[in-house]
Structure 1
Amino acid sequence: MRIKRFIPAIYFITLATVIGCSVKKYIPEDEFLYKGADLKLQTEVEGIKGLDDIEEELNGLLRPEPNTKFLGMYVGLWAYFKGTKDKPGFINRFLNKKIGEEPVYFSQVAPSRTEELIINRLENRGFFYSTTSSEVTRKDIYAKVDYTATISEPYKLSEVVVDRDSLEVEKEIIELMKDTKLDSGSRFDLNILTFERNRIDSALKEKGYYNFNSDYLIFEADTNISDSARIFKLYLRLKNNVPSKGIIPYTVDTINVFPNYSIDENETKTDTVSLAGKNFIQNEKVFKPKLLNDYILIEKNERYNPTLSRLSSNRLSSIGNYKFVNLRYKELETSDSLGHLTANFYLSPMTKRSVRAELLAVSKSNNFAGPALNLVYRNRNLFKGGETLNLTGKVGYEFQIAGGENRKGLQSLELGLGADLIFPRVIFFVPIKEKFSYSVPKTKMGLSAEYLSRGGLYRLNSISAKYGYFWNANQFAYHEINPISLSVVNLSKTSPEFEQILDDNPFLRRSFEQNFIAGINYTFNYNKLNDRFRTHGYFLGVGLDFAGNTINLINKITGKNDGKFLGLEYAQYGKMDLDLRYHLNIDKKQTIATRLFAGFGFPFGNSQSLPYIKQYFSGGPNSVRAFRIRSIGPGTYRPENFDVNSFFDQSGDVRIEGNIEYRFPIVSLLKGALFMDAGNIWLMNENEALPGGKFTSDWWNQLAVGTGFGLRVDIEFFVIRFDLATPLRIPYLEEGERWGNSFDVGSKTWRKQNLIFNFAIGYPF
């Protein structure tokens, strides 16, 4: 029995020996495998600031990188040698392509060159007269290098002097140097000098110096001002022979806007309208000049400003009507001390009208499948002010393709119509001059109607209307607020079977009966997930939704207390969602993605639970994937007849969920994933029809947990996802029995009950 405990260790040692020996035999006799380098820092003085950063920077100079190891073994190198031998076979070729690494030999290393780079980097940091040395160690087939760097006492700044002050640009530079980071007593640092040159360059451009360049500036250091101390004096001046156009400010004399620009456009035959110092040039009026003027921040006879130029282009692009927005400046001949520019905005519009049709085959994890058709008609620039009209239509039919012995042949028909009118400006009861510089807030008016017939059980009709605003505060932050959000839901033509479900669950009946929802909602997203070059990506989403309070106040003022408005029962609730996501991008192709979602709904006053269309559910392809859609909770509740009741009952007022997923490449466009999900939903109030469903302090002990793997066909702008998952923890089982899974893959019954297949478009988070 004792020997068995050492079997894994024996196996690992044997594997390491085999790989080590396999690698060794491929090394040429006149070569040594490079094992890397170590750097030791020595200092002549104590208390050097930023020494850790300097050491990290110097370590980055130790090139080349040696072959990587995994658990002490050269797995990548072994795969390379196996894959490049004669007749390597399919497996060896595959391993070489995926994890193979070419050998790094000591002959590729130049210790003397590395010493020069270390000295150069130390001098750039102010440590002049430092020294370095290196020592090479060879053993068996391996070689490594040990570097030693002795850091001298650094040179420190005594003062900064701007040489000359006769030109206007030099006076500007003197003023800008009041905010310099070059403080007396600071160490000489080439990085800070470069930063200062770029800072001054950017600031001068903001003041109108259109042709200025950071290369026109030069710092000169004088180290001969003291024989006893290592100090230096810094001089800043313009280089000799700087072109005159580079050191004069420019003003914008003319602003031309081409709202309907194309390469073939003949400018001589276009009409010009002058407004607020801008010339709007177009053959026919395709965009009203008065409205377009508000998007442009640069003004006539003002100095050139790159920030206002960039923001003007951003604002014009944010209208949503233009394919290309190009701002080009043209220099004018001048005889005075100022430069003069003409600003030309070339705006190339998108196609005004478009129609898109999507034919979908829908498959859900609750065994419903069927076709769906989506139609979208879009009209851009409807009233010649950048307005966009979207008309949408949807037809979907689903039927139950499996359901076991309780199968009822359920089917559903869904019809939908919607219209959105978007104005690229703020539309309010009184004129509002927006102050957003990054992009323009948009006003959205929406109206939609939906019809749902669920297989003879019931019919649900709904009408929704919204009025609100949305905008991007910057490239990461998005806001949306809807001061007016109205929904009317009508449950009609219920079957006796469904009426029995409602009779057994009064809370569910109330959630359907409160068919008027009037409130306000707000959404905020901060998204830094899309940059694949960012190691740490994150997303913050916040949603707030409040309904019924204004109507309740009106009823109190008027003396009504029947819970109705215009003859309709209205809902009262507050709802908050928090969505946190974090992506660790190991490299460009491997990611560990995590998500934490928490949603809380608080019914009060006229409501005992959230309206049905506002409730949460758990399970399915974008939730806990080891459970079918809407099949988890609330709490530890489990319906007796899963196939029928789960669709109606398994929703709640609270949802907490966490997910983690490791994403990795397989071949070409095919990627893989390993994931684990956990979550559940709960009710805020006790419901006798759903025992165990109330949210309590031991909610964490009622989480459903599942794991699985997936395949993704990722073609950058479109992802087809397949996930296969199995539960690890089932919350509705008795305590002590919730964890565990027999994993009897050979059993047809086990597979049917424990393997959940999910098909979806896009990543889950």
Structure 2
Amino acid sequence: MAIFISACNAVKRVPDGKNLLVKNNILVNGKSTNDENASNQMYQKPNGTLLGYKLRLNLYNLANLNPDSTYQARFKNHPGRYENWSKVLSAKQVDRLGQSFLYKGIHDFLKNTGEPPVIIDTSKTKKTLLRLKFYYFNNGYFNVKTDYTIDSIAPKKARINYNILTGPGYTLDSIRTTILTPALDSLYKTNPEPSVLKSGKQYKTSDFEEEKNRITTYFRNHGAYFFQPTYVTFDIDTIGKKNKADINLKIGNNNIQERDSSRTEPFKLYKISDVNIYTDYSAANAKSKITDSTTYKNFNLYSYKKLKYKPRAITDAIFINKGSTYSDTRTTLSSRYLNNLKIFNYPSIQYEVDKRDSTAQSLVANVYLTPRKKYSFGATLDVTHSNIQDFGIGASVSETIRNVFNRAETLEISARVNVGSSKDMANPNNNFFNVSEYGIDTKLNFPRILMPFGTEKIIPKRMIPSTSIAAGFSKQRNIGLDKENFTGALSYNWSPKRLNTAKLEVLNAQFVRNLNPDNYFNVYTSSYDELNGIANVYNTTPSNVDSNGNLIISSGTTGFTDDVLSGQTALTPADQQYKDVESIEERRVRLTENDFILASSYTFTKTTKKDLADNNFYQFKAKIESAGTLLSLISNVANLPQNVNGNYEIFNLEYSEYIKTEFDYIKHWDFGKEKVLAVRSFFGIAIPFGNSDYIPFSRSYYSGGSNDNRAWQPYSLGPGSTDALDDFNEANMKIALSAELRFKVFGDVKGAVFADAGNIWNVLDNVTDDKATFNNVNDLAEIALGTGFGLRYDLSFFVVRLDLGFKTYNPAHEKGDRWFKEYNFGHSVLNFGINYPF
């Protein structure tokens, strides 16, 4: 604190006669404005602040700007000091000491991290004034007048006032067109998209640029190959008009440059006369001879070596057809689809005028494809930390095989292994690496819809459809109950629109086999402690407990539970302890049973996010999933027998049956100056029916964690107001709401304040605990609230994130005692994450 206070003299490095810029004040017709676009015209802006404090400026002021001179001065002022130091260290070491972090490095760090004072420069002020004049002129204020004043507000501190007198704004009056090429004139009149320029609208230069782009896009999508935005000009006439302007939109003829001369002629609308596809093009073979070729549905395919692709695999990805009108959109769509095949580098599509056409109104489309390597090998090594593993080392290898069946298919095979350490897992041998997992996954992707019938009318190829077939196996050892997991899936993917995606998972099969169910109470210690506490009072069978009176796992826990539920103890169904034992046993059975899930789902995603830099967008995702319905239908039709529980089985295993739906909505608002407000809402519910009265653990919901409610650890919130009694708390309904304000701190360091709300509940399943179930809207009072702040460091390709969450409203406490009960650092949760949470 003393160091920072000593640096708080913000004008410490401001020369005499100069002023530190503390504020830019834009006054439009005498009133201050917060127009961000106007503020962006500034050549000089005040030093940045963090919560009102000029942190970077003061860091800079802490630095010694000439540490080398200061170090040398230590010896010039004391001639004998250098010799004395040299006796202890050596002359070379003394010289190097002046370059050390202690004497120089720390000052370089402060200078580089800090920010020098922004000193008012009147030449830059005048440049800013000129830019402001152009800015308001381009927004229709043709008679704008500008000047500036500098107000001293403290010693060596000043504010610049930019005074803008706009005068009246000009509006558009009559709008007419002069288009010399008849074909373009006809196209202009048939364009269904309305003009950006409208009579009565205030003049804006940006509208004219937008109108140029609108016209150019339409023309180039309807054959005008040589048309460019520069051919669109505007005559703006304000003579004799009072604050109004007549507009004449002019489009001249095509200007053709021929050596030392040029000529003009009307624009032509071109059609495609040929589509040539070079399937193995490279710079090295560009001048080689074609050795293999074929023609398929008016496409000409050429290869410098033997043709390795079935023609349809490539032609299905090309939307440029012989005889069609030239279109930029078709070119772009073809490039996207070809790139999506993942067997070529990004394609090159070039056009040339067909010399065979005497009217010179035909184009030859040449598509150059450079194949990627048929085989690609990859390997990764990861060090991990999670709520299950305190420390883990993972390795994976993968092999990608392209064009497997010569129709642009890709096959991906990957294997992974992980070993780790967990203090929470049962570890009788006290080994450091006490958990392990390995697995293998395969995925075969087809760039089309695989169906026994045509789907072009339902899902046309412009939607870039694909089919994916996946299978996988994994095995865990000493992780919970130890599991084998078998998965398989068949799914279809397509993009109905440019920024929309759809996925139909026809089949998603999962078989989870628990290898060590007797280990349950060693893992779920909270359940054991609760059961053991009841047994200390009500156990009547000596063989159930050890010499210390604790239940033996698993013979004792099973024996005591059986005694209670069969009426062999003093407990009756009316007792709360009986209900607790019943609940513990229900959860144990649910989590130790093997699961078979055969599900189908449909997922739709819509977003307005144009690119990674877009911070003003929304994203909506909806999913509906149904499991077991097909198996139950077959079982009913076939009149298959039911087991003693009244349920159907497959492979001697009760399969899961449920319906599940999820809705996820994300919205970002960009307030400029790197301030972004992001909100997220999520609702999900899975309802068991028919063959099931609960949801499998792998399909249930949990709350808490770095991408959820950041004031709670993963699996440690809910269900309802139960105070997270179990080690891994899950349920079948979830509500989550989050809001986060992001802002720049300095450089690549960003900050955020956030609020996360939500919880999980059991609903319409076999859980009877009233605290854990959602019965009516009054249970919305059990939505937990966490608030906090975070720091993020932007590494361009990803963001490293630290968030500190505080329990603001905890529904696990009694009503009236839920607000700020644990609002302190002792109960806070520090989250580490990669990239933003939403």
TM range (shorter): 0.7 to 0.9
**Do the aligned residues in 1 keep the contact of 2:706 with 2:833 (CA within 8 Å)?**
yes
Q: Which residue in 1 is equivalent to 2:442? A: 419
Partner of 1:523: 603
Distance 1:184 1:679 in 2: 50
- 2:232 pairs with 1:151: no
1:635 matched residue in structure 2: 720
The equivalent residue for 1:618 is: 703
Once the two structures are TM-superposed, the CA of residue 582 in structure 1 deviates from its matched residue by 4.3
Q: Deviations over 1:345-402 (max 9, x none)?
A: 1111222123333344443324554444433332111101111122233334445335
Amino acid at match of 2:396: N
For the structure 1 residues 147 and 382, does the alpha-carbon distance in structure 2 shift closer, same or farther, using more than 3 Å as the test?
same
CA distance in 2, matches of 1:443, 1:701: 44
Kept in 1: contact 2:415–2:441 (CA 8 A): yes
TM-score between the two structures when normalised by the length of structure 1: 0.79
Contact 1:704 1:731 in 2 (8 A): yes
Partner residue, 1:259: 279
Cα deviation 1:429-470 (Å, max 9, x = unaligned) = 212226546551111122233434446x74544433221201
Aligned to 2:268, which of 219, 223, 248? 248
Q: Equivalent residue for 2:413?
A: 391
1:429 aligned partner:
452
Task: Tell me how far apart the structure 2 counterparts of residues 735 and 763 of structure 1 sit (CA, whole Å).
Answer: 34
TM-fit CA distance, 1:733: 4.7
Q: Does 1:505 align with 2:590?
A: no
Asked whether the 8 Å contact 2:254–2:264 carries over to 1, the reply is: no
Q: Is the 8 A contact 1:329 1:342 kept in 2?
A: yes
Would the aligned equivalents of 1:488 and 1:516 in 2 still touch at CA under 8 Å?
yes
Q: What residue in structure 1 maps to residue 632 of structure 2?
A: 552
Report SS of the residue matched to 2:475: strand
Aligned to 1:48: none
Gap regions ≥5 residues in structure 1: 1-10, 44-51, 746-753
Match of 1:463 in 2: 486
Normalised to the residue count of structure 2, the TM-score between the two structures is 0.73
Q: What is the aligned partner in structure 2 of residue 681 from structure 1?
A: 760
What residue is the counterpart of 2:566 in the other structure? none
Are the structure 2 counterparts of residues 280 and 539 from structure 1 closer, same or farther at C-alpha, using a change threshold of 3 Å? same
Matches within 5 A, 1:294-333: 294-333=316-355
* 1:564 maps onto 2:648 in alignment: yes
Letter in 2 for 1:281: Y
Once the two structures are TM-superposed, the CA of residue 172 in structure 1 deviates from its matched residue by 3.9
Q: Which amino acid aligns with 1:577?
A: E
CA–CA separation in structure 1 for the residues paired with 2:132 and 2:743: 37
Could you tell me which residue of structure 2 aligns to residue 134 of structure 1? 147
How far 1:263 moved relative to its partner? 2.1
Work out whether residues 617 and 668 of structure 2, in 8 Å CA contact, stay in contact via their aligned partners in 1.
Answer: yes
Paired residue for 1:580, among 665, 676, 684? 665
1:251/1:302 contact within 8 Å kept: yes
1:232 aligned residue: 246
Is residue 295 of structure 2 the alignment partner of residue 274 of structure 1?
yes
- Alignment partner of 1:523: what SS? strand
| Offset from partner CA, 1:507-547 (integer Å, 9 cap, x none) | 55256557332231122334566845333354433322111
Q: Secondary structure at the match of 1:655?
A: strand
Pick which of 616-625 and 422-431 moved more. Answer: 616-625
* Match of residue 73 from structure 2: none
Identity %: 24
| Higher mean displacement: 101-110 or 81-90 | 81-90
What amino acid is the match of 1:604? F
Deviation digits for residues 570-596 of structure 1 (CA, Å, limit 9, x no counterpart): 322111223334456677977665544
Q: CA deviation at 1:314?
A: 0.8
**Is 1:448 paired with 2:472?**
yes
Shift of 1:108: 2.8
Offset at 1:610?
Answer: 0.6
Q: Which amino acid aligns with 1:740?
A: K
Find the counterpart in structure 2 of residue 740 from structure 1. Answer: 821
Counterpart CA distance in 1 for 2:221 and 2:630 is: 48
* Aligned-pair CA distance for 1:482: 0.7
**Structure-1 residue corresponding to 2:574:** none
- 1:152-190 Cα deviation digits (max 9, x unpaired): 47365235142656x434444455599544445555554
Work out the CA distance in 1 between the residues paired with 2:681 and 2:144: 52
Check conservation: 1:394, 1:416, Cα contact below 8 A.
yes
- Structure 2 stretches lacking a partner, 5+ long: 71-102, 257-262, 520-552, 563-583
Distance 2:750 2:138 in 1: 44
CA contact (8 A) 2:470 2:488 kept: yes
Report the equivalent of 1:485.
Answer: 508
SS in 2 for 1:248: coil
C-alpha offsets along residues 382-428 of structure 1, whole Å, 9 cap, x if unaligned?
10111112223333444533579999989554343332221110001
Q: Deviations over 1:460-511 (max 9, x none)?
A: 4443322120133455333211122233344455328468479742255256
Report SS of the residue matched to 1:263: coil
Q: Is the 8 A contact 1:79 1:95 kept in 2?
A: yes
Which segment is superposed worse, 575-584 or 601-610?
Answer: 575-584
State the partner residue of 2:315. 293
Structure 1 residues 328, 636: CA separation in 2 closer, same or farther (over 3 Å shift)? same
2:699 counterpart of 1:608: no
The one-character-per-residue Cα deviations of 1:104-152 (angstroms, maximum 9, x if unpaired) are: 41523555x6676666556655555x25253635447536345242524
CA deviation string 1:32-90 (max 9, x = no partner):
857434333399xxxxxxxx99x886676566445567787766655555547555987
Tell whether the 8 Å contact from 1:325 to 1:348 is kept in structure 2 after alignment: yes
Matched, 1:652 2:731: yes
Question: Is the contact made by 2:44 and 2:125 (CA closer than 8 Å) also made in structure 1?
Answer: no
Letter in 2 for 1:695: F
Please state whether the residue corresponding to 2:716 is helix, strand or coil: coil
- Do 2:136 and 2:144's aligned partners in 1 also have CA atoms closer than 8 Å? no
Q: Secondary structure at the match of 2:332?
A: helix
TM-superposed CA distance for 1:315, in Å, is: 0.9
Identify the match of residue 26 of structure 2 among 8, 32, 38.
38
Q: Which amino acid aligns with 2:167?
A: I
1: CA distance, partners of 2:17 / 2:783: 61
| Cα offset, 1:268, TM superposition | 0.8
Count of aligned positions: 725
Q: Mark the CA change 1:104 to 1:473 in structure 2 (over 3 Å): closer, same or farther.
A: farther
Say which SS state the counterpart of residue 695 (structure 1) adopts: coil
Distance 1:69 1:676, change over 3 A: closer
Q: Name 2:379's counterpart in structure 1.
A: 357
SS at match of 2:216: helix
1:281 Cα offset (Å) = 0.9
SS in 2 for 1:349: coil
Equivalent residues of 1:32, 1:105 under 8 A apart: yes
| Contact in 2 for aligned 1:158/1:233 (Cα 8 Å) | yes
Tell me the equivalent position of 2:306: 284
The aligned counterpart of 1:209 is: 224
Q: Distance in 2 between matches of 1:408 and 1:41?
A: 77
1:669–1:714: 8 Å Cα contact kept in structure 2? yes
